[in-house]
Structure 1
Amino acid sequence: MSDVIAGLDLNRLNRIAGHMEDKYLATGKLPCAVTLVAREGRIVWQQAQGLMDVERGKPAQLDTLFRIYSMTKPITSIALMQLYEQGRFLLDDPVHKYIPAWRDLRVYKSGVYPNFVTTPVQRPMTIRDLLTHQSGLTYGFSCQTNVDAAYRQLKLDGHMGLTLEKLVEELAHLPLEFSPGTAWKYSVATDVCGYLVQLLSGLPLDEYFSRYILGPLGMQDTFFTVPQDKLERFAACYEYQSGDRFRLQDDPQTSHFTREHGFLSGGGGLISTIGDYYRFTQALANGGELDGARIIGRKTLEFMRLNHLPGGTDLPRVSAGGFSETPYEGSGFGLGFAVKVDIAKSQTISSPGEYGWGGKAGTTFFIDPVEDLQVIFMTQLSPSSSYMVRQELRAMVYGALV
């Protein structure tokens, strides 16, 4: 039994390394794979494989810096809920209470930008709508509707020159995809949450994160801009090409993440390491605290982990968009996380109440409170839907529980 730690069989966990090498790395499907499995408050298995920078032949390391993209969202959601705990707002507050220009938001009916035909919203958008992606906002990269085409035309997906203020200002003039609370759609809503954090705290988002989340948790390798002295550890990012190949999409030497760029994206702007992000997930797994630093109250986190979709349904019943960082079936959505509500329906091994999220370059994490289990995976291949590696990893990890 010496090969079992915290109820996990190490020989079975070692299958992960072989699987990643044989199926994804040796075949040129993924540049790298960095994996961490933790249980009962400690790291049981972790490994860095492949190349963090294929062009320069640099091997991935456990301290490699990754673009975590939408894994920024849970951090932003915690930040906003910290302010909720201080009585700064209520979840059913209309967003226009804090962003007056949003008082008269309308819903798309027909037409193309700038000649939209719209109808009034059935009710005002609330802060909870933002946290749960039930706001009616969208993403330009969705490429599904005339509204997201307007987002692309106005460059609202984090292009150079965009600021949070500019984003919020432009969104005031665009229609929503649907009336708030009537459907679910992945969107820039979490960037708006980041704007509200700035507004309510009086601090820029990067400074707020540092002071109230990253600093207290000792996350010294998580930031919006990679410092010069850490550039050597910054991975290249790749883009999927047909035929199971990839091409360089963002060179670490010239990346906009290496210089101040003005857009502090609470929806997708952070760089981190697997070890740093583990400090965040371990704080959540502990009920909001790590090494004496509490970032969120236990009951607040319990509330965030509930399924907040109408009637306790799952995403396929209410989704208005085709994209998500989690399989739809059997998943609900809380305040900043996907939440497993029907395990059999999800067709992946899990426990009720498991929560987590991923990023567009293939990074992901989940926390299983029933098994006291955490898994974090880092790579840099966009889009995240290129391969089913997340589901395969899940099967191998749960298969190692004894």
Structure 2
Amino acid sequence: MSALNAEPVVGSRIDYLAPLHDPTLDPGAVLARIPSCAADFRAEFRLTGTPDSIDTYDLITLPYPTRFGLWRASMAPAPFLSITNRMLIVRWTEADGRRRTLLFEPSDVELGTNTPYFAALARRTPGPLETLFVRRHRDVLAHLRSAGIDPAEIDYLVFDHLHTQDVRRWLGTTEPQPDLGAVTPLEPIFPNARLLVQRSELNALDHLHPQQRPWYQPDTYRDLRPEAITPVDGDLLLGPGVALIATPGHTTGNQTLVLNTDTGIWASSENAIAAECLVPRHSKLLGVRRWAQEWDQGVVVNANTVETIAAQYNSLILERSIVDVSQRDSRFPQFFPSSELTRRWTNPGTAPTFVHEHITHRGGRKGTV
């Protein structure tokens, strides 16, 4: 029987990666299992087909501490680097002919600025400097309008994790939201969408560790419409060439979007901020190659908290093992950072060696699984 077994709620369960989620295993034992599990997953996932379309849209370019984004590897003089947060629109057709639309990383940028860490940073940054370092591109709704997609068409909202995210306007609430000027419950902008989120990520919101608190807005989840949230446990195939896999580490409930396209398999998450972080010995970033060689490190994690660094390292190895290599430069994997390192003259020593900037795919292909 196929390892993609039917689940009654959303998608189909993926069993090939289950051995990696065994809580009794230490990180080294999990790492040893990754090559065989990833190979089995790749072979099976290719058979599921491809989605109808994938498109990428810039939301915001903003500063981020170099010591987080490149962890211990960078020798850049700049305390901050720049990352560009992007949304993906993924569309596919079900076997029964129903069209599905998924938004990956549809950040409400305006409300995201209330995240404690970024709010504190903004208070310390004079207005003219903020305009120098922060560039707002078009927002989620503007991008949907340009793509000719009605918000009512959206079936799924997915984030790799819930750092900075406030989704009240997207999903609607059961109670008034005075801080948003709403004296009655908010009506959802995406009335038919469900937020797909790992159950462990939701559970963490109830009892955040002090290391986690600067990055979340837990109170904004208290009044969300419950029917708009679908907890996920582990790995799911959502449609032809579209999967969510659990990749804990950056947060306990981190997850990765995996896509099969006409250029092969991609993975997207924020476990790393650049494709070269998965192959650091090909990096020209100051200090990165040397650090990887000196300490025999296979990847460079994006670590703004340090709860589970070993698990995040393993998740990046899994992502690298699943994807194909870029057709533009075969040294670099088709890993698409949901927030990608971006060259800015204000951040010396942090210019990426290689960037993807976008994924574009057309032409769905039916699978055989």
Per the normalisation by structure 1, the TM-score is: 0.23
Query: Between Structure 1 and Structure 2, which shows a larger proportion of strand residues?
Result: 2
Query: Between Structure 1 and Structure 2, which shows a larger proportion of helix residues?
Result: 1
